[in-house]
C-alpha cells in the first residue's frame, strides 16, 4: 500500500476541496512519467513484445497535454500493472512504476508510487552488493528531475510516506 489512510489535501485538486492546482497536478504526472520511463528498459528487455507499460507512460503525458481523459490514463495504468502480475524482480517493478505514473491523472498521490517502484526496479536489477547503491542513485536522479514548483511538496511527501513506500526514499 503506497497511499496513506487519510488523504493529504495537498494532493487533492482545488475543485475537489484540496489545495493542489491543476498546474502542479500536471507537473506531478510528468515527474512520475519520467521516473517510470527511466527504468522502463528493465521491463522491455524482459518483455519486448508487451507495449502496455510504455503506453501507460505515454497516456500520462497525453493526459497532461489534454489529449486523453483521466479515465483513459487510468485504464492504461491498470493495463501496465496487469503486465507486471506474472513477472518478478526489476521487470515487475518497472511495469508497476509505469502503471502508477498513469494513474496520477486520477489520484495525484500516486506520484510516489511511480518513484518508489522505479527505485525498487533499479535495486532489483543489480546484484546484492550493488543494489543499495543503485537504489540511492535512482532516488537522487529522481530528485534531480523534480521541477522547482513541486520540489518541496514531493520531498515532504517522501518524508511522510517513506515508511509505507518500503523506505526507498532514504537517499
User: Residue written as cell 489520484?
Assistant: 107
> The pTM is what?
0.97
Confidence of residue 60 (pLDDT cuts 50, 70, 90): very high
DSSP state of 13: B
pLDDT of residue 2: 83
User: In the chain, helix, strand, coil percent, each to 5?
Assistant: 75, 0, 25
127 vs 38: CA distance, rounded Å = 19
pLDDT of residue 166: 94
What whole-number percentage of the chain has pLDDT above 90? 96
**What is the average pLDDT across 64-74?**
98
Written as nine digits, the cell of 9 is 489535501
Written as nine digits, the cell of 34 is 519520467
Cβ pair 93, 39 in contact under 8 A: yes
pLDDT of residue 1: 63
pLDDT at 103 exceeding the cut of 70: yes
Amino acid at each position: 500500500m503506497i497511499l496513506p489512510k487519510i488523504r493529504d489535501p495537498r494532493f487533492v485538486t482545488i475543485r475537489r476541496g484540496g489545495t493542489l492546482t491543476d498546474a502542479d497536478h500536471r507537473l506531478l504526472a510528468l515527474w512520475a512519467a519520467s521516473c517510470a520511463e527511466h527504468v522502463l528498459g528493465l521491463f522491455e528487455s524482459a518483455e519486448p513484445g508487451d507495449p502496455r507499460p510504455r503506453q501507460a507512460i505515454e497516456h500520462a503525458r497525453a493526459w497532461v497535454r489534454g489529449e486523453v481523459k483521466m479515465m483513459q490514463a487510468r485504464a492504461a495504468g491498470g493495463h501496465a500493472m496487469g503486465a507486471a502480475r506474472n513477472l518478478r524482480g526489476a521487470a515487475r517493478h518497472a511495469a508497476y512504476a509505469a502503471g502508477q505514473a498513469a494513474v496520477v491523472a486520477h489520484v495525484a498521490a500516486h506520484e510516489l508510487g511511480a518513484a518508489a517502484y522505479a527505485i525498487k526496479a533499479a535495486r532489483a536489477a543489480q546484484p546484492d552488493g550493488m543494489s543499495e547503491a543503485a537504489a540511492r542513485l535512482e532516488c537522487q536522479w529522481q530528485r534531480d528531475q523534480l521541477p522547482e514548483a513541486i520540489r518541496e511538496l514531493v520531498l515532504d511527501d517522501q518524508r511522510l510516506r517513506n515508511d509505507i513506500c518500503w523506505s526507498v526514499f532514504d537517499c
